[in-house]
Amino acid sequence: MLRDALAAIVGAQWVKERRQELAVFDADGLPGYRATPSLAVLPGTRDELIAVVGELARTGTPLVPRGAGTGLSGGALADDVVLVGLNRLTRIIEVDPVNRIARVEPGVVNAKLSRATARYGLHYAPDPSSQTVCTIGGNVAENAGGPHCLKYGVTLNHIVECEVVLPDGSVTRLGNAFGEPDGYDLLGTFIGSEGCFGIATEITVRLVPLPDAVHTLLADFSSVDAAARAVSKIVATGIVPAALEMMDNATIRAVEASIYAAGYPIDAAAILLCEVDGVADGLEADVALIRDACNDCGARGVLVATEPADRMRLWQGRKKAFGAMGRIAPALVVQDAVVPRTRLPEVLARINDIGTLHNVRVCNVFHAGDGNLHPNIPYNASDADESARVHAAMSAIMQTCIDVGGTITGEHGVGLDKLPYMETLFDAESLDAMCRVRAVFDPDRRANPGKVVPVHACREWHATPAVRR
C-alpha cells in the first residue's frame, strides 16, 4: 500500500490519513475553497522528500506540494490526492555573506531568513504580507511579491539556483548560484509554476544589503481618485520608492478598530504609504519631492516617519490589514489583479460601482505603485445569497481589470481561483504553449493537477491518473 511505502520513508507519524488530521489541510489562505487530501506526507529531510516523490512517481500517484498553506488562490488544495507538506524542511543550510547568497530548505519561513542574515547587514527582499508564516518554497512556487517588490523585484528576481525534484522523481539543478548560465532560463520558468513543474528541494537566494536609511511617508486624501493620481505623479518623478501602497476608508477603519491600529486617519477616503530607502544622502530631497507630489494632488497631510518604531507601526497596519478584516465578517475573499497604473482611478471607481450594484462591501488595500489591486470582500460564507453576490462582484471586477489591459494575478497565482479567467486572458494557442511546457516537466500531469491552466485548453490532454492508495 502507498501509505506503508511512504511511512517506510518518513516514519509512520508523518503520514496523516485520519480525517481529523487532514482537516488542517482543507483550505489555504483563501476561504471559499475546501478540499481534503487522500493522505498527507510530511518529509523531514531532502532525501526523504526525493524518495517520497519517487514513490509517488513509481505508483503513478498525483501530488500537491504545500508550504505553509498561506496561498490566496486555492493552489495548495489537494482534492483526494496526496499532499506533500514541506514545512518540516526548515534548515537554513548556509549563509554566504561574501557572495551575498543563502541556501535554504523550502520550508524556511520568509521573515526568519531575513532575521538570520541581518547580522551581516543583508536581507531577503521579497516580503509578502504573510512573511511571518509563509515559506520560501511556497514563495518560489507562487513567485510571491510584497510591498517592497516595487523597487526590489519579486521572488523571481531573488532566486539564483534551485535543486528540484521533478514529478518523475529525478533530481536536477536549475540556475547557478554564481551567475546566470547561458541556455534556456529553466529556473525562471520553474519559479511561479505553482507546484506543477516539481518541488524545490533546496533554494539559493540572493541577499540584498540593508539600506543605510529608510523614510516612510503617510499621505492622507479626501478622495480615492486623488490618491490614485498621486501614485502616477510620484512614479513620474523618477524616484522608485521601495514601496507605494494604498488603503481605502473601509480598510483604514477595519485596521484602526483592530489590535493592529497604526494611527491612520479614520476619516481619510484613502491613504498612501510610501517608503524610500537607500543611501542616506539625498533621501530628504526624495521625500520632499514625494510630499510635493502628494500635496499637488490634494493630500490633506503628509506625515514622515524615520524612527524604526514609528515606521513599524505604520507598516503593521498595512501588513495585517487582511487579518483586521476578520472583524467585519467571518469570511474574506481576496482578489489580486493588476491594471495599468494610469487606469487606477477609473478602475477603483468601477470597483466601487460593482460593490454597490451587488450590495457587497469592497475593501481595497493594494500595491498601488505596481497597479496591483487587492479588492477584498468580507462576507458570511454560510449565507448563500451573499456568497453568490460576492462571486458575481468578483467576476465583474476581474473582467474590468482584463478589459483595461490588466491581468488576473500579480502575485497570488492562478491556482483554482483564477482558473476560469485564464481563457479570457489568453488565447488557445498561448494556453497550448503553456500546456506543452508543463508536459516537459510533468508529462503525466500528476503535480498539482487541475491548477493554473484549464485542462481542456491542452490540445494533447489526457486524463490525470486515478488516485491509488
Partner 1 sequence: MSHPTLRATSPASVDALAATVRAHHAAVQPMRFIGSGTWLQGGGPFVDATPVSLRGLAGIVEYTPGDLVITVGAGTTMRELSAITTEHGQMLALTPYGDTESTIGATIATASAAPLALDDLSVRDLVLGLTVITGTGAVTRVGGRVVKNVAGFDLVRLHTGAWGTLGAIAEVSLRLHAVPVHDVVLGGRLSAELGDAIPPLVANRAPIPMQVVLEPGEAPRLLARVSGNLARVDALRARLVQLGMQNPEALSPDDIAARRHTPDDAIVLRLRTALSDAVPFVRATRDAFPTASLTYSPHRGSLRVVLPTATSAGDAEDIMDGVTRALSTVARLATTFGASHAIAIALDQGRRQYPARTPLEAGIKRALDPDDLCNRVSAMDSAPAPLPV
CB of 18 to partner 1, least distance (A): 35
Binding to partner 1, residues 280-319 (CB under 8 A): 280-286, 289
C-alpha cell at 332: 474574506
C-alpha cell at 206: 540572493
Q: With binding defined as CB under 8 A, does residue 240 bind partner 1? A: yes
CB of 313 to partner 1, least distance (A): 27
If the CB atoms of residues 170 and 359 are measured against partner 1, the closer one turns out to be 170
Rounded to the nearest 10 degrees, what angle do helices 344-357 and 384-403 cross at? Answer: 160
Q: With binding defined as CB under 8 A, does residue 261 bind partner 1? A: no
Please pick, from the candidates 427, 462, 468, 469, the single residue that binds partner 1 as defined by CB under 8 A.
Answer: 427
| CB-CB contact of 336 with 247 (8 Å) | no
Binding to partner 1, residues 91-150 (CB under 8 A): 96, 98-100, 121, 142-143, 145, 149
Binding to partner 1, residues 148-167 (CB under 8 A): 149, 153-154, 156-157
| CB-CB contact of 324 with 254 (8 Å) | yes
Q: With binding defined as CB under 8 A, does residue 341 bind partner 1? A: yes
Q: With binding defined as CB under 8 A, does residue 410 bind partner 1? A: yes
Q: With binding defined as CB under 8 A, does residue 87 bind partner 1? A: no
Q: With binding defined as CB under 8 A, does residue 445 bind partner 1? A: no
Binding to partner 1, residues 359-398 (CB under 8 A): 367, 370-372
Cα 461 from Cα 456, distance rounded (Å): 7
If the CB atoms of residues 238 and 385 are measured against partner 1, the closer one turns out to be 238
List, in sequence order, the alpha helices (H) in 257-343: 283-296, 308-319, 321-324
Please pick, from the candidates 32, 128, 406, 450, the single residue that binds partner 1 as defined by CB under 8 A.
Answer: 406
Cα 86 from Cα 67, distance rounded (Å): 5
Q: With binding defined as CB under 8 A, does residue 172 bind partner 1? A: yes
Q: Where are the beta strands (DSSP E) in 63-184?
A: 63-66, 82-85, 92-96, 101-104, 122-123, 159-165, 171-175
Q: With binding defined as CB under 8 A, does residue 465 bind partner 1? A: no
Cα 105 from Cα 205, distance rounded (Å): 11
Cα 285 from Cα 203, distance rounded (Å): 39
Q: With binding defined as CB under 8 A, does residue 447 bind partner 1? A: no
If the CB atoms of residues 240 and 396 are measured against partner 1, the closer one turns out to be 240
Q: With binding defined as CB under 8 A, does residue 441 bind partner 1? A: yes
Listed in sequence order, the residues at least 6 apart from 362 whose beta carbon sits closer than 8 Å to its beta carbon are 250, 351, 352, 354, 355, 375, 376, 377, 393, 397
Binding to partner 1, residues 319-338 (CB under 8 A): 338
* Per-state percent for the chain, helix, strand, coil, to nearest 5: 40, 20, 40
User: What number of CA atoms fall less than 13 Å from residue 248's CA on the CB side?
Assistant: 23
| H or E, element range at 199 | strand 199-206
* Distances in whole angstroms, Cα of residue 332 to Cα of each of 49, 233, 326, 327, 389: 33, 32, 7, 10, 13
CB of 91 to partner 1, least distance (A): 22
CB of 197 to partner 1, least distance (A): 8
Instruction: Sketch the per residue contact string, 15 through 54, with partner 1: x for CB under 8 A, - otherwise.
Output: ----------------------------------------
Residue position matching grid coordinates 506543477? 196
Q: With binding defined as CB under 8 A, does residue 437 bind partner 1? A: yes
Please pick, from the candidates 76, 82, 102, 191, the single residue that binds partner 1 as defined by CB under 8 A.
Answer: 191
Q: Could you tell me which stretch among 234-242, 253-261, 304-312, 383-391 binds partner 1 (CB under 8 A)? A: 234-242
CB of 400 to partner 1, least distance (A): 14
